[in-house]
Homo-oligomer: A and B are copies of this chain.
Amino acid sequence: MSQTTPLPRQAAPSGRRELPEAPFLAAARGERPARTPVWFMRQAGRSLPEYRALREGVPMLDACFDPEMLAEITLQPVRRHGVDAAILFSDIVVPLKAAGVDIDIVPGTGPVAAAPVRDLAAVKALPELEPEQVSKVADGIRLLVERLGETPLIGFAGAPFTLASYLIEGGPSRNHEHTKALMHSEPELWHQLAGRLADVALTFLRAQLDAGVDAVQLFDSWAGALSERDYREFVLPHSAKVLAGVADHGVPRIHFGVGTGELLAAMRDAGADVVGVDWRIPLDEAVRRLGHSGRAPEKIAVQGNLDPALLHASWPVLEAEVRRIVEEGKAADGHVFNLGHGVLPGVDPDVLTRVVGLVHEL
């Protein structure tokens, strides 16, 4: 499917299940379902006591490769909150780990790579991902498709820039200085690395799609650290390769990064059907900016954009924010309610449940 063809109403290649009544899928296609669908980034995880109980003593990456555990963790927020979509419990570094990269998730720090990737030898040494290496994730997805009923399942992968930053910096970075320096000073090496990481992300997403996910989200967590000029030159082609590479599956492709107000049209140009927006700009302004993308005649679908910090505010404040966002979301052809970034660890899960109820009422 080319980037300029709208998604078919019910694409179901390779025996994919059809969920014609799912509000999430309708909104992601740029339609207006009977109710506004809602899910939360990081809904599966540390905000839930049942998650913390299940994960007790189990390292993060072990949980991500245990089909029963990843299925159960993915299901927990669906059961508890009644959200309109499940998001696969996984981590951005899962496909790298699966391919054999020496990387681990250090509690309190994040992903840490044993050896930073900063030269041609290191780039060439990066292994490719084979679909069999993520077979446990696929097994978990098959369990989920059986157990989720009519609730769609969103698969996900980290985008090339964000993966590259972890590998080049060797871990989480506030300033991405080595990544940006390499990108600008050695553009050929950069494009080779980002191209390989695009292949990894694509293989991971295709494995998820083959196992049955109903939509995909490409997370470019750190893209907001770049100017639009740099994003278009160094990042967009590689994210576009990933998004184009899953187009034949005919499922909605969501693309999100934090602080990307300047990049929204570029992220849509990369091939996103739904663009995630953080809380820094209102959704109606986001829709205006998305209209400047080269895909302007197509329907515009957005996802967002409640500030997750406001889940700590009083209910009247939160209610007013949710109402405002649902109202502003009407500027889009389709609106999937979500946070502007992931659920924070300290949040009261009952507040999330209440937000779901309110969004469904409006």
Interface positions of A (Cβ within 8 A of B): 175-181, 184-185, 224, 226-229, 259, 261-262, 279-282, 307-314, 317, 321, 341, 344, 346
Contact A181 B261 (CB under 8 A): no
* Of B177, B184, B279, B309, the contact of A317 (CB 8 Å cutoff): B184
Pick the 9 closest A-B CB pairs, nearest first. Answer: A181-B312, A177-B309, A180-B309, A185-B314, A181-B313, A184-B317, A184-B313, A185-B313, A177-B312
Query: Can you list 27 A-B contacts with CB-CB less than 8 angstroms, sorted by A residue number?
Result: A177-B308, A177-B311, A177-B312, A177-B346, A178-B312, A179-B309, A180-B307, A180-B309, A180-B310, A180-B313, A181-B309, A181-B310, A181-B312, A184-B310, A184-B314, A184-B321, A185-B317, A224-B259, A226-B280, A227-B279, A227-B281, A228-B281, A259-B259, A261-B261, A261-B262, A262-B280, A262-B281
Tell which of A179, A280, A317 has the most Cβ of chain B within 10 Å. Answer: A280
Interfacial chain B residues near A227, Cβ < 8 Å: 279-282, 307
A78 CB, nearest partner CB in chain B, Å: 25
Instruction: Please indicate the chain B residues that have their CB under 8 angstroms from the CB of A311 in the complex.
Output: 177
| A282 neighbours in B (Cβ, 8 Å) | 227, 229
Q: Which residues of B contact A259 (CB under 8 A)?
A: 224, 259
Distance in angstroms between the alpha carbons of A280 and B262 in the assembled complex: 8
Total copies of the chain = 2
- In the complex, which of the residues A224, A261, A346 has the most CB atoms of chain B within 10 Å of its own CB atom? A261
Task: Return chain B residues, CB-CB under 8 Å to A279.
Answer: 227
A161 CB, nearest partner CB in chain B, Å = 13
Residues of B within 8 A of A261 (CB): 261-262
Question: Which chain B residue has the least Cβ–Cβ distance from A259?
Answer: B259
A176 to B179, CA, bound (A): 27
Contacts of A341 in B (CB 8 A): 175
CA distance A262 to B279 in the complex (A): 12
Q: Which of A179, A184, A279 has the most CB of B within 10 A?
A: A184
**CA separation between A282 and B228, bound complex, in Å?**
9
Contacts of A307 in B (CB 8 A): 180, 227
A193, chain B: closest CB distance, angstroms: 16
Least Cβ–Cβ distance between A322 and chain B, in angstroms: 13
Q: Which residues of B contact A184 (CB under 8 A)?
A: 310, 313-314, 317, 321
